[in-house]
Amino acid sequence: MFRGIENVTIAVADIEAAIQQYNVILSQEPNSRGENGTMKTAWYDLQHSSLELVQDDDPQSPVGRFMSRTGGGLYYVALHADSPTETVAD
């Protein structure tokens, strides 16, 4: 059974600018931030899910390729389900 949205990830070109924008939209600061090589992330914990902003400066990474094709935006949505197979079948 589908239970809800676990998290939403948004790919951005400039994570600092995106953080400033989402701080206003969500009325909160990120709960955590990270950096691993060329990838930077910021996580917002929401009431029943989370929002992740991601910037990757490597044009060959999956996020980098997505950015070059689309300019950024919704990268993926993770769903919470008891059984993914049954949820897809439904």
- Contact (CB, 8 A) for 42 and 53: yes
State yes or no: pLDDT of 86 exceeds 90.
Answer: no
pLDDT band at 84 (very low <50, low <70, confident <90, very high): confident
pLDDT score at 73: 97
State yes or no: pLDDT of 32 exceeds 90.
Answer: yes
0.85 surpassed by pTM: yes
pLDDT band at 88 (very low <50, low <70, confident <90, very high): confident
Residue type, 84: P
State yes or no: pLDDT of 20 exceeds 90.
Answer: yes
